[in-house]
């Protein structure tokens, strides 16, 4: 069969490589893909929000199944559009995508279904903000309701900051929505839990911990993710049962009742306090870089899984995982997540000899006349699988030092929570 994969990040390169390894696949097209995917798939340079043009290429290449990586096309309704055109697609429809596309919607689902989450108030005007300030202790988390490319959340230590950030959102700082969600601050440890979902069932799809801050010791501004590892040892069996019964099941049931059953990957972003899970956020897709540490641990043919998911036959699918652990460190362009340069040469990659348990997933890269250049802030995901996080990290750092990219930087402390000094 022929598969189209939408997106251009490290997540998509990891998915593309796994799809490429399947015997069920003849051809993969990536829209738009990156330098890494260009070696195993046909990259097609089309805007991921130009659904009509995407459909045209899907037809030209006789695509049997479309996999959507990033959130934006999902939130904007690519699944509904393709289904209307009789194309098989893996991912949630526009309504279900509001779990990520609108924090107010997600919180409303929590409130109506008693799903544990931080206490909150949805605000459309200043008076509502003032009211919340009267009964919630500081710090307070201020969130933009709509998609905000990872920049929509601010943890405020003063009332003045809460008012300032909220009024910026009311004034339209983020195009996606002028609604503000205020939340109590939850103190705990973060972890992510993944499931793959069809209309009737869901299956476990791994756990991971990301590192969102740009600098070591979790300092500096938030990024898309500087590195991750899987599994998350924090998620023990007793906690997993609570995540499923208190969060995943009630959410899927609620969407079914609303006649929009969830389908696709569901990323459950959690805060864990005393072995109790609280929902921080939903993402309607795999995480990036979480995907890059979950996919290498997958034993089962991913195309078989996708096929069964779109046929609503996940119940018969036995998804198997390797016991080994996996970690990835993201090599970024200097300046990220602020301003950074593009089209900088990455010279040493072809000199690296990877062993079979190591992978370099491309993210913001492209080829120009056969020369590898950076094309984004997060550039390469150096990834390795093994028995011990400390050894895995040493191996990754060894490769990064060999790449020795003069325009790059990375965190050396990924996995500090699971690696004793």
Instruction: Enumerate binding residues for ligand AMP (CB under 6 A).
Output: 118, 141, 153, 183, 185-186, 190, 212, 269, 280-281
In whole angstroms, the minimum distance from the beta carbon of 71 to ligand GLY comes to: 8
- 359 in Cβ contact with 383 (< 8 Å): yes
3-state helix, strand, coil in the chain (%, to 5): 30, 30, 40
Which positions from 212 through 231 interact with ligand GLY, judged by CB under 6 A? 224-225
Distance of CA 114 to the CA centre of its chain: 25
Per-residue binding string, ligand GLY, 173-212, x by CB under 6 A, is -------------------------------------x--
- Both tokens of 176, joined, read 């996606």
The listed partner (ligand GLY, ligand AMP, none) that binds 185, CB under 5 to 8 Å by sort, is ligand AMP
In whole angstroms, the minimum distance from the beta carbon of 269 to ligand GLY comes to: 7
The listed partner (ligand GLY, ligand AMP, none) that binds 118, CB under 5 to 8 Å by sort, is ligand AMP
CA 200/CA 261 separation, integer angstroms: 8
Under the binding rule (CB under 6 A), the answer on residue 12 touching ligand GLY is no
In whole angstroms, the minimum distance from the beta carbon of 280 to ligand GLY comes to: 11
Q: Which listed residue (283, 292, 374, 384) binds ligand GLY by CB under 6 A?
A: 283
The listed partner (ligand AMP, ligand GLY, none) that binds 30, CB under 5 to 8 Å by sort, is none
Under the binding rule (CB under 6 A), the answer on residue 101 touching ligand GLY is no
CA 197/CA 280 separation, integer angstroms: 20
The listed partner (ligand AMP, ligand GLY, none) that binds 183, CB under 5 to 8 Å by sort, is ligand AMP
Under the binding rule (CB under 6 A), the answer on residue 92 touching ligand GLY is no
- 413 in Cβ contact with 396 (< 8 Å): no
Residues 105-111: contacts with CB under 8 Å, at least 24 apart: 106/279, 106/281, 106/282, 107/181, 109/251, 109/254, 109/255, 110/279
The listed partner (ligand GLY, ligand AMP, none) that binds 383, CB under 5 to 8 Å by sort, is none
Q: Which listed residue (198, 288, 301, 358) binds ligand GLY by CB under 6 A?
A: 288
Q: Which one, 141 or 344, has the nearer CB to ligand AMP?
A: 141
Under the binding rule (CB under 6 A), the answer on residue 287 touching ligand GLY is yes
Strand intervals (E) in 95-188: 120-123, 140-144, 153-156, 180-184
The listed partner (ligand AMP, ligand GLY, none) that binds 277, CB under 5 to 8 Å by sort, is none
- Both tokens of 398, joined, read 């060894």
Q: Which distant-in-sequence residues (6+ apart) come within 8 Å of 232 by Cβ?
A: 191, 192, 193, 207, 208, 209
- Both tokens of 162, joined, read 């809460």
Tell me the C-alpha to C-alpha distance, in Å, between residue 174 and each of 129, 378, 395.
Answer: 18, 23, 41
CA 368/CA 373 separation, integer angstroms: 7
Site of tokens 């998804």:
319
Q: Which listed residue (290, 346, 361, 403) binds ligand GLY by CB under 6 A?
A: 290
Q: What are the helix (H) ranges across 185-258?
A: 237-242, 249-257
In whole angstroms, the minimum distance from the beta carbon of 229 to ligand GLY comes to: 12
CA 70/CA 286 separation, integer angstroms: 8
Which positions from 19 through 58 interact with ligand GLY, judged by CB under 6 A? none
What is the phi/psi pair of residue 135, to 5°?
Answer: -120, -5
The listed partner (ligand AMP, ligand GLY, none) that binds 283, CB under 5 to 8 Å by sort, is ligand GLY
Candidate ranges 14-22, 50-58, 112-120, 287-295; the one touching ligand GLY (CB under 6 A): 287-295
In whole angstroms, the minimum distance from the beta carbon of 283 to ligand GLY comes to: 5
- 203 in Cβ contact with 317 (< 8 Å): yes
Candidate ranges 128-136, 253-261, 283-291, 341-349; the one touching ligand GLY (CB under 6 A): 283-291
Q: Which of 100, 39, 40 is nearest to 68 (CA)?
A: 100
In whole angstroms, the minimum distance from the beta carbon of 120 to ligand AMP comes to: 8
In whole angstroms, the minimum distance from the beta carbon of 159 to ligand AMP comes to: 17
Candidate ranges 61-69, 74-82, 213-221, 286-294; the one touching ligand GLY (CB under 6 A): 286-294
- Residue numbers of the site for ligand GLY (CB under 6 A)? 210, 224-225, 283, 287-288, 290
């Amino acid at each position: 069969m022929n598969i189209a994969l939408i997106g251009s990040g490290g997540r998509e390169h990891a998915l593309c490589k796994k799809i490429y390894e399947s015997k069920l696949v003849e051809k993969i097209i990536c829209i738009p893909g990156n330098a890494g995917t260009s070696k195993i798939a046909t990259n097609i340079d089309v805007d991921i929000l130009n659904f009509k043009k995407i459909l045209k290429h899907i037809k030209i290449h006789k695509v049997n199944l479309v996999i959507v990586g990033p959130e934006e096309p999902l939130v904007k309704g690519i699944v509904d559009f393709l289904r209307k055109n009789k194309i098989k697609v893996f991912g949630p429809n526009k309504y279900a995508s509001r779990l990520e596309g609108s924090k107010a919607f997600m919180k409303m689902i929590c409130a109506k279904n008693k799903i544990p989450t931080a206490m909150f108030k949805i605000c459309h005007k200043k008076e509502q903000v003032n009211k919340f300030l009267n009964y919630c202790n500081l710090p307070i988390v201020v969130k933009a309701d709509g998609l905000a490319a990872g920049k929509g959340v601010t943890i405020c230590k003063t009332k003045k900051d809460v008012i300032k950030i909220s009024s910026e959102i009311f004034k339209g700082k983020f195009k996606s929505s002028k609604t503000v969600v205020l939340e109590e601050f939850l103190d705990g440890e973060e972890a992510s839990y993944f499931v793959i979902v069809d209309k009737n069932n869901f299956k476990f799809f791994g756990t991971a911990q990301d590192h969102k801050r740009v600098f070591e010791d979790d300092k500096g501004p938030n990024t898309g993710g500087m590195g991750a590892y899987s599994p998350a040892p924090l998620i023990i069996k007793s906690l997993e049962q609570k995540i499923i019964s208190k969060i995943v099941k009630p959410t899927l049931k609620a969407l079914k009742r609303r006649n929009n059953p969830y389908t696709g990957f569901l990323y459950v972003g959690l805060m864990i306090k005393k072995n109790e899970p609280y929902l921080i956020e939903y993402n309607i897709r795999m995480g990036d870089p979480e995907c890059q540490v979950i996919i290498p641990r997958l034993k089962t043919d991913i195309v078989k899984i996708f096929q069964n998911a779109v046929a609503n036959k996940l119940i018969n699918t036995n998804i198997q995982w390797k016991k080994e652990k996996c970690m990835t460190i993201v090599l970024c362009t200097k300046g990220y997540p602020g301003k950074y340069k593009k089209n900088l040469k990455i010279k040493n990659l072809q000199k690296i000899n990877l062993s079979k348990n190591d992978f370099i997933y491309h993210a913001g890269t492209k080829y120009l006349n056969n020369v590898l250049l950076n094309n984004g802030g997060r550039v390469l995901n150096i990834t390795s699988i093994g028995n011990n996080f400390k050894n895995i990290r040493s191996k990754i750092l060894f490769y990064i030092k060999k790449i020795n990219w003069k325009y790059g930087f990375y965190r050396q402390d990924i996995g500090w929570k699971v690696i004793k000094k």
